[in-house]
């Protein structure tokens, strides 16, 4: 089963280099596992403008409670509508329907894969800025007894247009990077992109909390077993 490759057999993890800023961009979920149990919350606000007129506005939230591959929950909310709510307890998966009813599922593996692919809200939203993003190290700060390096984010010189329809216009914020694992423990970022029709803006806030705490996940109240 693929679960074995995800949860039990882990490739050797490279040592975190001194350049934490660069290492933080290479973090995968197996690296996040190294900080232990924790709660992850990320919210991103995206807006689109044509001149001064707001064309659209969307808020997306991702919530993860993580103990191990057999005990975690993953929830996604878009514009106040819950689009996904999955809970795995002692290896048994449960999924909440759009009608608000929980059902026991046969196999947790699809949800392990889904969560391991979709957790990285940072990468999904900062990718258009990466080529011009500058991270300037400032002070150190402890977050729940873990040493972090704080970086100030700025927009550096832009390369010649590569034909992309989105071009970085502004970027500022801060990111707190765990010195031991290079995992981002906190971030506050705002950025904007020029488009052929106007401007797109993005505001991202993420935080990991209750790091190393004993987190209890209980099976929900469910209906009779539902087929996948």
pLDDT digits (tens, 9 = 90+) for 189-225: 999 999 888 999 999 999 999 999 999 999 998 765 5
Q: What secondary structure letter does DSSP report for 213?
A: -
pLDDT digits (tens, 9 = 90+) for 49-60: 988 888 999 999
Mark out the alpha helices in the chain (DSSP H runs): 2-3, 20-24, 29-33, 109-118, 121-126
pLDDT score of 158 more than 70: yes
- Tell me what the mean pLDDT of segment 154-173 comes to: 80
Taking alpha carbons only, the member of 192, 215, 188, 212 closest to residue 202 is 192
pLDDT of residue 58: 96
Kindly indicate the confidence band of residue 8, based on its pLDDT and cuts at 50, 70 and 90: very low
Q: What secondary structure letter does DSSP report for 210?
A: S
Is the separation of the CB atoms in 89 and 218 below 8 Å? yes
Note the residue count of the chain.
228
pLDDT of residue 224: 58
């Amino acid at each position: 089963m693929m679960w074995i490759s995800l949860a039990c057999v882990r490739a050797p993890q490279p040592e975190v280099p001194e350049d934490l800023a660069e290492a933080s961009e290479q973090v995968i979920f197996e690296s996040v596992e190294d900080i232990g149990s924790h709660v992850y919350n990320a919210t991103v606000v995206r807006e689109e403008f044509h001149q001064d007129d707001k064309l659209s506005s969307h808020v997306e939230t991702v919530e993860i409670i993580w103990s191990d591959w057999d005990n975690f929950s993953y929830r996604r909310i878009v514009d106040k509508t819950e689009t996904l709510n999955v809970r795995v307890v002692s290896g048994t998966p449960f999924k909440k329907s759009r009608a608000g009813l929980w059902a026991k599922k046969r196999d947790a593996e699809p949800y392990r894969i889904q969560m391991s692919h979709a957790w990285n809200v940072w990468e999904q939203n900062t990718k258009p800025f990466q080529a011009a993003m500058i991270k300037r190290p400032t002070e150190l700060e402890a977050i729940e007894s873990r040493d972090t390096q704080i970086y100030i984010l700025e927009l550096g010189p832009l390369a010649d247009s590569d034909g992309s329809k989105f071009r970085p216009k502004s970027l500022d914020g801060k990111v707190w990077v765990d010195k031991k694992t290079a995992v981002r423990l906190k971030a506050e970022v705002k950025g904007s992109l020029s488009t052929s029709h106007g401007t797109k803006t993005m505001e991202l806030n993420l935080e990991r909390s209750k790091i190393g705490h004993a987190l209890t996940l209980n099976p929900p109240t469910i209906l009779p077993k539902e087929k996948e």
